[in-house]
Amino acid sequence: MNESHAKKECVVTGVAGFVGSHLAERLLAMGHTVVGVDNFFSGRLHNIASFREHPNFSFCRADVREQNLLDRLKRAHPGLKYCFHLAAIVSVPYSMDYPDRTMEINYQATVRLLGEADRLGFTAFIFAGSAAEYGDDQRTPLLEGYATERTRHLSPYGRSKFLASKQVESSLRGASLRFFNIYGPRQDPGSQYSGVISRFTDAAAKGRPLTILGDGQQTRDFVYVADVVDAYILAAGLKGKNGAMPRGIYNIGTGKSTTILELAEAIKRACDNNSGLKFLPERPGDIRHSLAAVDKFRDTAGWEPRVDLPDGLRHTLNFEST
């Protein structure tokens, strides 16, 4: 077996979250071993139900702020070499209310885990970055170099993710993936952490009006969760160009822009929803326009988004109707 495709042992923090559960599921399907970490602050037990009893999966209920967390996990699982760090405060409004807690979890805990991974000789440390790291930068598409110390971040969430990404970038084993708007099956529409697509599809399927925050002219780059998982796998060197790991900071999006109004109308049509739209004030801290430049990761790792928005919406709606 090619070494890059041999069985690996991986840690996934935030494993009970929307993206973390999809990532763990894929790693297990590829034949790898997964140690999942979550404290259920925003993750949900039902997200890991499909693989909770998998023979290659182990679960550790823990907070990522725990000192020497990776040391403890490696003592129990000596073969651990890959860390996918997704656990975080992911709500912009929550970060506005609790900035210190957000910085402690998103930045300080990340730096501590990265240091442990370096000391323990991990092969890869893959961090979940965010488009919010670009703050109020209105240039489009957004290039990775646009986020700097001078960037005016619109929330503690964006600032904490930026600081953590820069630390990860400085590591010999680190890659930070700046994700734009992720959507897909298993995203909880009732959670304060949910994305606009999960909220829209839930309302449309129930015949309710779709609620838009602001005027609906905001634009987003929506990327399907399966494509996001592909990016994680490539970033860790578990697939792709000779198993090489691309280090640094990379945007993960589609490079295509959609207004919130366009999105709402597309979902209403797909659900045959005629209940109209409801407009509420825009949330403080939200970015007006967001579009990824995706050339860097494509050229480095060979990644391309495979699922376009209409297909992704169909997959999401089909999942929610089951």
SS3 of 301, please?
A: helix
DSSP 8-state code for residue 248: E
- 157 catalytic, yes or no? yes
CB 291 within 8 A of CB 257: yes
Tokens for 162, please give them: 């930026």
Q: Do the strands 124-130 and 181-183 form a parallel or antiparallel pair, or are they unpaired?
A: unpaired
Tell me how crowded residue 7 is: count the other CB atoms within 10 A of its CB: 11
Which of the residues 157, 193, 224, 232 is marked catalytic? 157
* The residue to which tokens 């840690």 are assigned: 11
Residue 122: strand pairing partners? none
Residue 96 CA: distances (Å) to CA of 51, 91, 173, 286 = 35, 9, 31, 11
8 Å CB contact between 125 and 114: yes
How many angstroms separate the Cα of 89 from the Cα of each of 33, 180, 182, 283?
Answer: 26, 16, 16, 17
Residue at token pair 């945007």: 251
Tokens for 277, please give them. 């739209």
Return the exposure string of 271-281: e unless at least 16 CB atoms fall within 10 Å of the residue's CB, then b.
bebeeeeeeee
Residues 6+ apart with CB under 8 A from 53: none
**CA–CA dist 220, 222 (Å, integer):** 6
Residue type, 34: V
Return the active site residues. Answer: 157
